[in-house]
């Protein structure tokens, strides 16, 4: 259940520090996730997951961009499609929830398809340098460029369950792994 996972996991780290920890948490009880660890985009029957890692805090600081729109903080970034991303995955990326069009970058293509049903979420997991993955929330589609670069908006940073300023500090300014992030996120009621 994606909604239950989202409510529980937003802003939380997954230990031990590995993609396997996240993938097993995403799996229904009694099942084992089968995946290729070197891939960053994974398709599920009811969602997709995107994993971002960085060699240093500086890499993440340069990746995540912030803007203010109507007194709300917005976070967005560019992600480059790799060779392991199939055409089927790209089609599903076009069908995720849309981000705020005011954040679109002028050189992006933005031809959203006619929705066929409820958009499936794209969930973002970020690994800070040498640490565990943290679930940062759902992404909204902002467009893509002809060279395979996609633009996404992080949709949940203004949630009462997400403490974006603290999370950003952990992701971008600490070069040492954090062993406890109890202060980051609490389950939504």
Count of CB atoms situated within 10 Å of the CB of 147:
7
Sequence ranges of the domains in the chain: 2-107+119-173
Two tokens, residue 110: 């933005």
Average pLDDT, integer, range 154-163: 80
Contacts 24+ apart (CB under 8 A), 173-180: 173/57, 173/61, 174/57, 174/128, 174/129, 175/56, 175/57, 175/129, 175/130, 176/130, 177/17, 177/128, 177/129, 177/130, 177/131, 177/132, 178/13, 178/128, 178/131
pLDDT digits (tens, 9 = 90+) for 16-74: 988 999 999 998 888 888 888 778 899 988 999 999 987 776 777 778 888 888 888 88
DSSP, residue by residue, 79-113: EE--TT--HHHHHHHHTSPB--GGG--TT-B--PP
pTM more than 0.85 = no
Under the banding of pLDDT at 50, 70 and 90, the label for residue 81 is confident
pLDDT tens column, 103-143 = 876 656 656 556 567 888 999 999 877 789 999 999 999 98
What's the residue count for the chain?
189
CA angle 71–76–82, rounded 5-degree value = 170
């Amino acid at each position: 259940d994606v909604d239950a996972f989202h409510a529980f996991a937003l802003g939380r780290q997954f230990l031990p520090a590995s993609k396997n920890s996240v993938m097993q948490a995403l799996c229904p009880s009694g099942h084992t996730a089968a995946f290729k660890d070197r891939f960053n985009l994974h398709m599920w029957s009811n969602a997709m997951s995107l994993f971002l890692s960085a060699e240093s805090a500086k890499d993440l600081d340069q990746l995540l961009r912030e803007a203010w729109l109507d007194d709300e903080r917005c976070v967005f970034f560019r992600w480059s499609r790799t060779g392991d991303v199939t055409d089927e995955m790209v089609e599903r990326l076009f069908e995720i929830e849309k981000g705020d069009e005011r954040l679109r970058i002028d050189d992006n293509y933005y031809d959203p398809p006619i929705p066929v049903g409820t958009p499936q979420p794209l969930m973002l997991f970020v690994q800070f340098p040498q640490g565990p993955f943290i679930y940062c929330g759902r992404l909204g589609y902002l467009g893509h460029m002809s060279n395979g670069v996609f633009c996404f908006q992080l949709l949940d940073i203004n949630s009462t369950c997400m403490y974006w300023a603290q999370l950003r500090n952990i992701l971008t300014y600490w070069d040492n792994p954090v062993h406890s992030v109890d202060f980051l996120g609490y389950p939504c009621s």
